[in-house]
């Protein structure tokens, strides 16, 4: 019998051990607390350099980054965008908010990222873009996706919201497509509070995204609006936090990789769960730790989650495949989404963050092992 911890272990937690406080106070003292101020431009410059693109535009969150990317590429009513069903809802919501039609595709049989064979099948005369999602920090099969995009003259918007510093084709995820979109929500590997970034190597797209972010205003003529835009700007306060976090991202990711390795070791050869998924298309980063039950599991996912909760461990299910939920059931699809259903219905995410201790992981892994041997 495992002794229950009294202090809950959250699924994610922040590490503010760098310049966060100093930069935020500096921004407050400067009185530049809205969307002008030195931290915005510093954060954008540093993030572009980090990802390896010539441009980075900060925005108020990752969902708006995706919407701005679509709008900047003039994607809207009458256009189709190919997107995986196994993703966080924001990816598809952005397409719907742009007025375009999402076309859902399946995952690979042995990996949760989208299947290029399905992507090719989904291309129609209305297709304008593909949104590969580097889910849970694992890069997609970008060579195959870029080839399809080139063949059919499609844009590629990378949803790298969960994949800061992952790599594919020798580059950082987010930098190989037309536009890359990131999120800095508080549970990501680095945060700005709320926040997001569009990155691109195209100067004209950078300019268009900046204009749309700021009410469609002409950059040389104040209060002259060339088109209908939005207010999707990041604040200087958020950028101050983001810059301080970016300065520490390598340490954060090293610690996450080390801790994920401990989970892998503790779950080795455990009946009822699949071995940890490799990252076949490039260097992954460790965002949430994912564990998938297999057909030999003696417990259901819900039973496992409930059991973990009893032990004060905050775990959560992997994303439900979008096509199973009311707002998305009627979205266009060209094939079965059976793999999305496996990954979306049999996985759990376990706590992973730099301040987690080795003994916390031992405790969590012991509880999982124990629960998997209990017949409910």
Ligand X SMILES: Cc1ncc(COP(=O)(O)O)c(C=O)c1O
CB of 113 to ligand X, least distance (A): 11
Give, in order, the Cα–Cα distances in Å from 34 to each of 31, 68, 239, 274. Answer: 9, 20, 10, 47
Stretch that binds ligand X, among 60-68, 249-257, 304-312, 335-343 (CB under 6 A): 60-68
DSSP code of residue 231: B
87 or 339, CB closer to ligand X? Answer: 87
Could you say which residues in the range 107-166 bind ligand X, by CB under 6 A?
133, 159, 161-162
Residue 305 binds ligand X, judged by CB under 6 A: no
Residue 61 binds ligand X, judged by CB under 6 A: yes
Residue 62 binds ligand X, judged by CB under 6 A: yes
Could you say which residues in the range 202-221 bind ligand X, by CB under 6 A?
none
CB of 86 to ligand X, least distance (A): 10
- What is the chain's Cα-based Rg? 21
Q: What is the DSSP string of 106-137?
A: PBPSSSSSB-HHHHHHH--TTEEEE--B-GGG
**Rounded to a whole number, what is the largest CA-CA distance in the chain?**
70
91 or 346, CB closer to ligand X? Answer: 91
Q: Which residues contact 372 (CB under 8 A, 6 or more apart)?
A: 270, 271, 272, 273, 297, 298, 299, 304
Residue 230 binds ligand X, judged by CB under 6 A: no
Residue 196 binds ligand X, judged by CB under 6 A: yes
Q: How far is CA 109 from the centre of its chain?
A: 21
Stretch that binds ligand X, among 23-31, 58-66, 204-212, 343-351 (CB under 6 A): 58-66
> For residue 70, which phi and psi values (nearest 5 degrees)?
-65, -45
Among 35, 113, 127, 183, binds ligand X (CB under 6 A): 183
Site residues for ligand X per CB under 6 A: 61-63, 87-88, 90-91, 133, 159, 161-162, 183, 185, 196
């Amino acid at each position: 019998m495992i002794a229950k911890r009294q202090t809950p272990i959250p699924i994610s937690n922040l590490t503010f051990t760098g310049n966060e406080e100093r930069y935020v106070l500096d921004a407050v003292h400067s009185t530049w607390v809205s969307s002008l101020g030195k931290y915005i431009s510093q954060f954008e410059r540093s993030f572009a350099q980090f990802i390896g693109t010539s441009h980075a535009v900060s925005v108020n969150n990752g969902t708006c980054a995706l919407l701005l990317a679509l709008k900047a590429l003039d994607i809207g009513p009458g256009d189709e965008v190919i997107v995986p069903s196994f993703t966080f809802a924001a990816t598809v919501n952005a397409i719907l908010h742009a007025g375009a039609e999402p076309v859902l595709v399946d995952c690979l049989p042995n990996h949760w990222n989208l299947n290029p064979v399905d992507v090719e099948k989904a291309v129609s005369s209305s297709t304008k873009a593909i949104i590969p999602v580097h889910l849970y920090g694992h890069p997609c099969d970008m060579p195959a996706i870029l080839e399809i995009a080139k063949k059919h003259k499609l844009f590629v918007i990378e949803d790298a919201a969960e994949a800061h510093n992952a790599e594919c084709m020798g580059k950082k995820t987010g930098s190989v497509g037309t536009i890359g979109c990131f999120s800095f929500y508080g549970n990501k590997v680095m945060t700005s509070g709320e926040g997001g970034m569009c990155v691109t190597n195209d100067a004209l797209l950078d300019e268009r995204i900046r204009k749309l972010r700021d009410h469609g205003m002409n950059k040389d003529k104040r209060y002259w609006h060339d088109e209908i835009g939005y207010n999707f700007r990041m604040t200087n306060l958020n950028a101050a936090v983001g810059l301080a976090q970016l300065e520490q991202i390598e340490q954060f990711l090293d610690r996450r990789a080390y801790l994920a390795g401990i989970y892998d070791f503790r779950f080795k050869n455990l009946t009822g769960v699949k071995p940890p998924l490799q990252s076949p298309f490039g260097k992954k980063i460790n965002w949430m730790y994912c564990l998938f039950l297999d057909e030999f599991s003696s417990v259901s996912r819900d039973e496992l989650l409930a059991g973990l909760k009893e032990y004060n461990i905050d775990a959560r299910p992997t994303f439900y495949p979008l096509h199973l939920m009311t707002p998305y059931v009627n979205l266009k699809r060209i094939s079965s989404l059976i793999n999305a259903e496996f990954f979306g219905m049999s996985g759990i995410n376990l706590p992973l963050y730099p301040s987690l201790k080795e003994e916390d992981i031992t405790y969590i892994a012991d509880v999982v092992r124990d629960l998997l041997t209990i017949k409910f």
